[in-house]
Structure 1
Amino acid sequence: MDTKVEALEGSQKKLTVTVDAEEIDKRIKKTYKDFASRYNFPGFRKGKAPRPVIDSMLGKEAVRAQVTDDVVNGLYPIAMDDNDLISIAQPDFDLSEELVTEHAPFTFTVTVKCRPEFELDSYDQVAVKLPSVEATDAEIDEQIDELRNYYYTFEDAADDAAIEENGFAEISLAATDDKGENIETISTDSRLYELGSGLFPEAFDAALEGLKKGDTTTVKMDVSDSLMGRGIEGDVTIDVEVKQVKTKVLPELNDEWAKETAGFEGGVEELRTRIADSIKQQKEQMMPRLRENEALYALQKRVLGEAPEELCSSEEQNLLQNFFQQIQQSGLTFDAYLAQMGMTPADFKDDVKKQAKDVTLQDLALDAWARHFDIQVSDEEISEEFKKSGVDDPAKLEKQWRENGQIASLRAGMKRTKAIDAIVADLAVEELKPGEKLQSVEDEEAEEKAAEAEAPKADEAPAEAAAEGEKLTKTALNKLKVAELREKAEGMGIATDGLKKAELVDAILAAE
């Protein structure tokens, strides 16, 4: 088999494969034998039917068609592998010679869209900023606050105190379904409820925000996507009474509490020392992965090109498949995971898309690095990789991969591993200053700020927002605080006296 590769526009390549006449004759002869053994031909024993009989019974071109199909489908992946080509879209075959011919070579061409070969704007040493492995006072204080959170208590707030965002209150709930029947799983005479806990939809929390002791409200909504509404279909009506607004109180940090409650005989000093040691140990364990992650984020910013949609979509599917396998193994449901992470399905989707784009760009950056520094992977190294897989017969598995044209992808992955290992080994590291964040986090926040800059401001008048193609939504309004809603409503000429948050939202939407 001879192959020739021609570069076309963009990342497309034209692969021409020529199979010599001797190989074609050998395949034709074998296929006739296979047909003779596979089918029953009247008057002939199995496997003994001559060619003219086979051609007469199955069609003159049956064998040639089968050989052509075997040659194209069998040799295309091997030819791609031999030329280190990896297709990212469906190949386009051009069979100028429709069928193989005995005693003659056979040529076919295929146009493939391959992984683009982008360059980097620099191949200099990669520099990153990383935190010190030593625990900072702020980190120790944060850990201590988390520990104190395990021992919190609640106190009654003043009677005129209002429920704040993410606040607490003791409430009673009377829930009925769309038929007016009581829903026992939701109804209760008394429940200590935390706004933002995800037990109910955001609209429920929005309706409670701003209420005081003795206030009542009625909320009608679909609760099927919330933790408390599992298995409940249709709209649910919930009558709520605020029995008491609560204030969360953390224990005072002193030697007495550290000794008697937290169990540190040396008091606060021992508590801080033990936490500092624990933080340092955790940082040391995560530092290798953190070095690699930050190096990849820094490297992807050097890519001169945009991540192809085909590669991003493929990576997105890989991430989703791995994610759902992991939560299934952990016993979590998708809804429970979202509630635990404080995410909506839309947030999750956006996060996966961003991860897929990041991974794609990082892979393309590593490909460029490997090409620039001529990083190679030998056949011996590939064979060794199969031995490391732990299968009973690594040589057999390698043979299957080679026949299926899967070696190019494996080689590319091994080159990337070598590239990132070399980059991390030569990494220039600067210690983060107090309050400074990791580069990857700064990238995410910069994107969020850019998106916010393009969107209408929260205090923008509805008419101005509409003029820029934006429209107020109930979800967006529910994210505002009561004071912000009152200001917006008053700016629209709405009387706000006595209106609760949910009523303010409805009034603004109606006025718009």
Structure 2
Amino acid sequence: MKISVRNLEPTKVKLTITVDPEEFNPYLDAARKQIGKQVNIPGFRKGHVPGPIIDQRIGFAAVAGEAVNDAVPELYSKALEEKQIHPMAQPEFDVQEVPQSAKDETKLKFVATVEKRPDIELPELEGMTLEVAKPEVSDEDVAKRLESLRQRFGTLVGVDRPAAKGDFANIDLTAEIDGKQVESQEGISYELGSGNMLDGLDEALDGLSAGEETSFNGKLEAGEHEGQEAVVKVKVNSVKAEELPELNDDFAQDASEFDTLDELKADIRKQIERDGEARQATEARDVFLARLKEGLDIPVPKGVKDEMVQEQLKNVTGDPSKATDEQKDEAEKTVVKDLTDQIVLDTLASKLDVQVSQSDVFNFLASIAQQYGMDPNAFINAIIKNGQLGSAVQEVGRSKGLLAGMRAVSFTSEGQPLDLSAFLGDDEAAEEAVENESVEAASAAAAVADELAAKNGDEAPATDAE
């Protein structure tokens, strides 16, 4: 097999692949066998029809077409591996030459155009030391956490006064458009100042007492008339204020296992410190990635970027064509960052020769299924059936590469060594988990699972994989 590579862009290549007859012949033979199992030819049992008879009765063109369909993807994958090209999208194939008969010496020739991961040079990790800011715990942080706990033990009591910010009003709402009532709700509990209902509601309620009502103009936020201007009438049925318990030892005993308020405050401070350590690990990750990208000009594949931007805009607006310039700019910034991070992490995983095992991938998928309350086996089968196993392998590889890379460098905070082992684990534990399994093992297991599911007639719902 002869492979020529032409770089169209830093992130796009064209591979021209020419296949020698002896390498294409096995695909022709396999195609003849497959066709022979499906046709009835007098004098021969199904599956036992000689190749020349298949060529004669069915036609060599049909045989070659079946062979090309199988050969092109496989030979393309071999070419990628040989030339160390890492695709980031599906290729476009153009089959240019195919032998016209069994004796034709014409070589199979096809072109594959694909967007690829750009070649970038990451800095050496050995000897790298990165500074991470130390999280501070202030008395104000403790007070805020304590106040949040205090509010959980608050009670609502009726008050005979106008409603004010922070009060809870029980209200009835009606909405009219052109004098016709289109919406009506009764007995709604609403916290003044929360701003989580209609624009203008907070201002309308401020200063109203139980039994009073008013009206204002506003846009409806939901329902059949969402976005339309309406006259909203609001009536206050009651006003209640939140009554909070006094911060003392009695409160500490009711709200926790501690006997005194000082003990409760000390425990809250420890909790905030632990949270700060987790945030520090996240910041260490960001600092590490920023250092890897420092000084690099990382191009992203245009086609992949455009497709991802459209998906982002669909999530924001539903219809990308209606997105504002600001939304488009924000979506593009987000996508470019995601893609550059992916490129850096994939390159890092290759640099560190990260191995992804069957158990790595399936544990990753099982954890996702658990997060969404789904059956892990059904979810994994859905991923396999929808052809998304490769994406899962990539995600696991990036995660393992990131952890391995962070374990290979040193972190400090205020000049002192920073121990992140609680968040990063260690190389020995990771190696024991992998047990020298490979990506091929994951793919093989996936193929077996897919075959079993097909034999049993099981069809995992596509929605499980989304």
Pairwise same-fold verdict (TM > 0.5): yes
Give SS of 1:41's match: coil
Conserved? CA contact 1:120–1:304, under 8 Å: no
Q: How does 1:21-420 map to 2 (within 5 A)?
A: 21-42=21-42, 44-47=44-47, 54-99=54-99, 102=102, 104=105, 105-119=107-121, 125=128, 127-132=130-135, 135-152=137-154, 163-164=164-165, 167-175=166-174, 186-188=185-187, 191-196=189-194, 198=196, 200-201=197-198, 203-205=199-201, 208=204, 212-213=208-209, 214=212, 216-219=214-217, 221-224=219-222, 238-242=232-236, 248=242, 250-255=244-249, 257-259=251-253, 261-262=254-255, 266-284=259-277, 288-296=281-289, 299-300=292-293, 302-305=295-298, 307-312=300-305, 356-367=335-346, 369=348, 374-377=351-354, 381-382=355-356, 385-386=357-358, 388-389=360-361, 410=393, 414=397, 417-418=400-401, 420=403
- Structure with greater strand percent: 2
Matched, 1:19 2:12: no
Q: CA deviation at 1:40?
A: 1.7
Alpha-carbon contact 1:3-1:79 (below 8 Å) kept: yes
Instruction: State how far apart, in whole Å, the 1-side matches of 2:260 and 2:205 are.
Output: 40
- Aligned CA RMSD, in angstroms, stands at 5.0
Compared CA separation, residues 316 and 31, structure 1 to 2 (3 A): same
Equivalent residue number for residue 9 of structure 1: 9
Q: How far apart, in 2, do the equivalents of 1:413 and 1:109 lie?
A: 31
Q: 1:158 to 1:30 in 2, by over 3 A?
A: closer
SS of equivalent to 2:97: coil
Output one character per residue of 1:166-202: Cα deviation in whole Å (capped at 9) or x when no partner.
x435253143677967967x223x845334363x33x
The one of the two structures with greater contact order (alpha-carbon pairs below 8 A, sep at least 6) is: 1
Whether contact under 8 Å (1:4, 1:15) holds in the other structure is yes
Check 1:250–1:127 CA distance in 2 against 1; reply closer, same or farther (3 A cut): farther
For the residue of structure 2 that corresponds to 1:305, the secondary structure is: coil
Cα 1:197–1:13, aligned 2, differ >3 Å: closer, same or farther? same
CA distance 1:264–1:245, change in 2 (3 Å):
same
Distance 1:291 1:14 in 2: 39
Q: State percent identity of aligned pairs.
A: 22
Q: Which among 410, 421, 428 is matched to residue 404 of structure 2?
A: 421
The residue type equivalent to 2:261 in the other structure is V
Tell me the SS of whatever aligns to 2:345. helix
Amino acid of the residue matched to residue 36 of structure 1?
G
| TM-score where L is the length of structure 1 | 0.57
Q: How far apart, CA to CA, are the structure 1 residues paired with 2:170 and 2:46?
A: 84
Structure 1: where are the runs of 5+ without partners?
324-345, 392-396, 433-512
Measure, in 1, the Cα distance between the counterparts of 2:66 and 2:208.
Answer: 80
Residue identity matched to 2:201:
D
Distance change in 2, residues 1:101/1:407 (3 Å): farther
Distance 2:214 2:167 in 1: 16
Preserved CA contact (<8 Å) 1:93 1:108: yes
Using a 3 Å threshold, how does the CA distance of structure 1 residues 204 and 56 change in structure 2: closer, same or farther?
farther
- Preserved contact between residue 10 and residue 299 of structure 2 (Cα < 8 Å): no
Helix, strand or coil at the partner of 2:117: coil
Relative to the length of structure 2, the TM-score reads: 0.62
Offset, 1:412: 9.2
Work out the CA distance in 2 between the residues paired with 1:168 and 1:243.
Answer: 13
The residue type equivalent to 2:400 in the other structure is T
1:248 Cα offset (Å): 4.9
Partner of 1:65: helix, strand, or coil? helix
- Which whole-Å CA distance do the structure 1 matches of 2:258 and 2:43 have between them? 98
Which of 413, 437, 462 is matched with 1:430 structurally?
Answer: 413
- State the 1:144 CA deviation: 0.9
1:68-109 Cα offsets, whole Å, 9 max, x none, are 232213322333244332323442334332446646343323
The residue aligned with 1:449 is none
**Distance in 2, Cα, partners of 1:262 & 1:406:** 47
Paired residues of 2:219 and 2:229 also in contact (CA < 8 A): yes
* Structure 2 counterpart SS, 1:240: strand
Q: 1:318 to 1:429 in 2, by over 3 A?
A: farther
Counterpart of 2:134 in structure 1: which amino acid?
P
8 Å Cα contact 2:98-2:108 kept in structure 1 = no
CA spacing shift, 1:366–1:128, aligned 2, 3 Å: farther
**Shift of residue 153, structure 1, vs aligned partner:** 5.1
Answer whether contact 1:177 1:234 (CA < 8 A) is retained: no
Amino acid at match of 1:217: S
Deviation at 1:360?
Answer: 2.1
Distance change >3 Å, CA 174–CA 365, structure 1 → 2: closer
Partner residue, 2:367: none
Aligned 8 A contact 1:172 1:187 in 2: yes
Is contact 1:375–1:415 with CA below 8 Å preserved after alignment?
no
Residues 181/366 of structure 1: CA separation in 2 closer, same or farther (3 Å cut): closer
Amino acid at match of 1:428: F
Following the alignment from structure 2 to structure 1, what is the Cα–Cα distance between the partners of residues 102 and 284?
Answer: 60
Task: Tell me how far 1:146 sits from its aligned partner.
Answer: 0.9
For residues 151 and 347 of structure 1, what CA distance do their matches in structure 2 show? Answer: 43
Distance 1:347 1:212 in 2: 39
Relative distance call for 1:37 and 1:254 in structure 2 (3 A) is closer
Taking a change above 3 Å as real, the CA distance of residues 89 and 414 of structure 1, as seen in their structure-2 partners, is: closer
- 2:17 partner amino acid: V
- Give the Å deviation of 1:12: 1.8
CA distance 1:292–1:113, change in 2 (3 Å): same
